[in-house]
Structure 1
Amino acid sequence: MKNPVPRTAAIHDLSGFGRASLTVVIPILSCMGVQVCPLPTAVLSTHTGGFEDFSFRDLTATMEDIVAHWRQLDVDFDAIYSGFLGSPQQEAIVAGFIDTFSRPDQLVVVDPVMGDNGKPYKTMTPEIIRGMRSLIAKADVITPNFTEAAFLLDEPVPRTISPERIKSWMLRLSDKGPGKVIITSLPVPEKQKTSAVIACDREDGRFWKIDCHYIPAYYPGTGDAFASVIVGSLLQGDSLPIALDRAVQFVSTAIRTTFGYSYPARNGVILERVLPSLNAPVTASSYEIVE
């Protein structure tokens, strides 16, 4: 029996305070008409972006119990969506989960959360990064930022990159398995204080790009928000450039809305103010094709 609404297994950590991971994934996808079945990798008192002395509980063993119960219930998923993973063992669990719950026409999205601004996150190890290179082979879509794309390819992170080289990177990433590759936070050297999001689709060989204007603030959880809108949009039947456009517009609106307040950046974007925009009519206007 077909699910009355799309059902997604969301494999992310859960932070009690600060909008990131599952506290971002669940409201966004729910607002987009998707049932979210969380498979938490860890529970934290806060996310790690700007908070100290946070509590952390690893849920690797619990993940295995949840997966076993879902298998017993014969739960099926229209999409599988993974984010931050804290160990090679968790990567192996996710890989096994994808194999176990595979079904025709299923969407598998891997957001390979490993680092940013040229550096790995404190919890990342070479073993975890190697494991992520293997995990993306099981994905239909991956959404690394520029730093993570370099890690996946075992390349140094350059300060700038030519259009020809970034296209080569994307094709190399696609050759590892995923048919659609989306890279965020791409530096645009000819436009000061501007970054870009670029995507490619192996099926039609086209590349798409959207420029993102700079706002002088960093909000944790925006990568989770971006990838979540991509998942919801593709499940709604949108094309890759439309999904790209919707995700960029939503995150840009959330950042601009939050920046207008005197509000601690570490709390994340004020998601509640902008969630209704996800149900507005789709107006694609900012993407361009890259020749």
Structure 2
Amino acid sequence: MRSDRRVLTIQDISCVGQCSLTVASPILSACGVETCVLPSAVLSNHTGEGFHGFTFRDLTEDIPGILRRWEEESIFFDGIYSGYLGSIRQIALVREAMKTRLRHGGIAIVDPAMADHGRLYRGFDMPFVRRMAELCGTADIILPNLTEACLMTGRDDPAEVQTERRVRELVEDLAQLGAGTVILKGISLEPGTLGNAVYDAKEETLRFCFTKKIARSSHGTGDCFAAVFTGAWMQGLDPYQAASLAADFVVESLLQTEGDPAHWYGVKFERALCMLTNRLQRGGLISDRAREAASGRRRYVLDGENFDDLEGFYTEISRIMTDESGGKVRSGHNLDGFCDVLRGGFGKHGYGEPIEVVWRNFERSREVLGDTMLLRIVSILLEKNGEHDCVLRTEA
């Protein structure tokens, strides 16, 4: 692993509660990154539900002097990553730090930690949201959750972002703020899963990484995600790989905390650090599916419950592969048309673009299509001498 990178993280210290700097510093260090901190405030504990109050000391007045001292000492950073900020003035100071203290080629990462579950955190208002959107516009990578993304783009209801098309619209609007890479956290396109969208504004590519949705939710998981993402990126993983690893780390931290009602204030991320370091030493990704996704393979889910005959199969294929806007592209309803759709250029994937088909309720499809037709379809999907590149995964 590369161990000579230096990152500055700017956020608060919540002395109890496993969030902000008490999470970011150990996680970044575990990633093998030299970790420097610029505290924005000191709190007795985090402000989430469960605690009955908190003390708060604003450190805004200390920040300009620290930045001047670093300037005099010629201290620079390979990356600057900001989290929870307590005021509009602090946002301006973070912009100054990113402008003056980043090395040439350094990366600015902003986690706009200000809202979740459809509402702003205590003490924030819309003027703060607008300033945070401006800060995101100066960053290279931004890590908003769904609520924060909707607030910064003027959307009212995060629950409406439940399709790939809506997600793409949202990340494109976020990219219009100015960031080159958008990691949209906390999306769910299918029941039982939770994940992230990774959007490259220059290439206009959108990829998803999903994990099993854990029943337990907890304060501080967004901070865990941001810290792992930053540390993994600093060690050479690309944004998709870093986001995948960060999502897995959050799931592992939640699983380590399940069954302990006394640990309601955060997650036992410390027990997941070994998994993190092992994954980084092995290159970050361990599954074939993750490697395929990281290479840009577009994933389609074909559900056998959605058709009752061959005509219904062709209609479903047309719906999921060629239509992002309600049936405007129609392919030929025959096997030649099916080959054309797989080859690409009709809608969602480009000509020759690698794809993955996850065929759910496969056995039901066998019943309604028959063994002979099912075999012909599967043979086409897996044809290696054709003009398409498809991986097929079946689920009974």
Which whole-Å CA distance do the structure 1 matches of 2:217 and 2:47 have between them? 14
Question: For residue 245 of structure 2, what is the aligned residue in structure 1?
Answer: 246
Question: For residue 49 of structure 1, what is the aligned residue in structure 2?
Answer: 48
Which whole-Å CA distance do the structure 2 matches of 1:234 and 1:204 have between them? 19
Which whole-Å CA distance do the structure 1 matches of 2:102 and 2:30 have between them? 25
Aligned residues of 1:246 and 1:284 also touching (Cα < 8 A): no
- What does 1:236-275 correspond to in 2, within 5 Å? 236-266=235-265, 268-275=266-273
2:102 alignment partner, SS class: coil
- Distance apart, 1:146 and its partner CA: 0.3
Letter in 2 for 1:229: V
- What does 1:128-277 correspond to in 2, within 5 Å? 128-161=128-161, 162-188=163-189, 191-266=190-265, 268-277=266-275
Deviations 1:180-238 (A, max 9, x none): 100111132xx324322111112332211122322222211110110111111111111
Deviations 1:32-64 (A, max 9, x none): 011111100000010111212211101100112
Question: For residue 32 of structure 2, what is the aligned residue in structure 1?
Answer: 33
Question: For residue 123 of structure 2, what is the aligned residue in structure 1?
Answer: 123
Letter in 2 for 1:283: L
Aligned residues of 1:196 and 1:209 also touching (Cα < 8 A): yes
1:103 alignment partner, SS class: strand
Which whole-Å CA distance do the structure 2 matches of 1:4 and 1:258 have between them? 30
Letter in 2 for 1:203: K
| C-alpha spacing 1:118/1:98, structure 2 compared with 1 (3 Å) | same
Aligned residues of 2:214 and 2:251 also touching (Cα < 8 A): no
Aligned residues of 2:3 and 2:34 also touching (Cα < 8 A): no
Question: For residue 99 of structure 1, what is the aligned residue in structure 2?
Answer: 99
Aligned residues of 1:146 and 1:186 also touching (Cα < 8 A): yes
1:104 alignment partner, SS class: strand
Aligned residues of 1:197 and 1:212 also touching (Cα < 8 A): no
Aligned residues of 1:159 and 1:187 also touching (Cα < 8 A): no
1:105 alignment partner, SS class: strand
Aligned residues of 1:112 and 1:143 also touching (Cα < 8 A): yes
Gaps of 5+ in 1: none
Task: Look at both structures and tell me which one has the larger radius of gyration over its CA atoms.
Answer: 2
Which whole-Å CA distance do the structure 2 matches of 1:61 and 1:184 have between them? 32
Comparing 152-161 with 127-136, which one deviates more in the overlay? 152-161
Which whole-Å CA distance do the structure 2 matches of 1:238 and 1:80 have between them? 17
Question: For residue 279 of structure 1, what is the aligned residue in structure 2?
Answer: 277
Q: What TM-score results when the alignment is normalised by the length of structure 1?
A: 0.93
What is the root-mean-square deviation of aligned Cα atoms in Å?
1.7
Gaps of 5+ in 2: 299-347, 349-396
Question: For residue 20 of structure 1, what is the aligned residue in structure 2?
Answer: 19
| C-alpha spacing 1:73/1:17, structure 2 compared with 1 (3 Å) | same
Deviations 1:45-99 (A, max 9, x none): 1011121221110110011221111111110100000011111100111111111
- Distance apart, 1:272 and its partner CA: 1.6
Which whole-Å CA distance do the structure 2 matches of 1:284 and 1:200 have between them? 22
Which whole-Å CA distance do the structure 1 matches of 2:249 and 2:126 have between them? 33
Letter in 1 for 2:270: E
Task: Report percent identity of matched pairs.
Answer: 35
1:265 alignment partner, SS class: coil
